[in-house]
């Protein structure tokens, strides 16, 4: 268990991991992208509902999940494109 904890701590302290400062704390970039993806999907849902398209979508959950993933990946691509992996 100690070895697993040491490996996890070493990986968490990796200076090459992309992070973002939010209210003075460093957050991993994937959390920011996941939140942006969910917010983008919610906004897309309101727009599609307003246009009347939402009621005709097959498998709404899958459509909105794919939209959330697409928005999250777009944020990653445009905001962190030069960040090391």
Query: Which secondary-structure segment (H or E) carries 3?
Result: helix 2-12
Question: What is the predicted pLDDT for the residue at 12?
Answer: 53
Question: What is the predicted pLDDT for the residue at 5?
Answer: 54
pTM of the entire predicted model: 0.67
Cα dihedral 33, 39, 42, 43 sign: negative
Question: What is the predicted pLDDT for the residue at 16?
Answer: 58
**pLDDT tens for each residue of 1-28:** 555 555 555 555 555 566 767 666 667 8
């Amino acid at each position: 268990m100690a070895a697993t904890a040491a490996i996890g701590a070493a990986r968490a302290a990796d200076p090459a991991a992309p992070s973002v400062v939010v209210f003075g704390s460093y957050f991993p970039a994937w959390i920011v992208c996941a939140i942006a993806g969910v917010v983008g999907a919610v906004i897309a849902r309101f727009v599609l509902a307003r246009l009347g398209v939402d009621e005709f979508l097959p498998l709404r959950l899958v459509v909105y999940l794919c939209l959330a993933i697409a928005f999250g990946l777009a944020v990653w691509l445009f905001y962190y494109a030069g960040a090391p992996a």
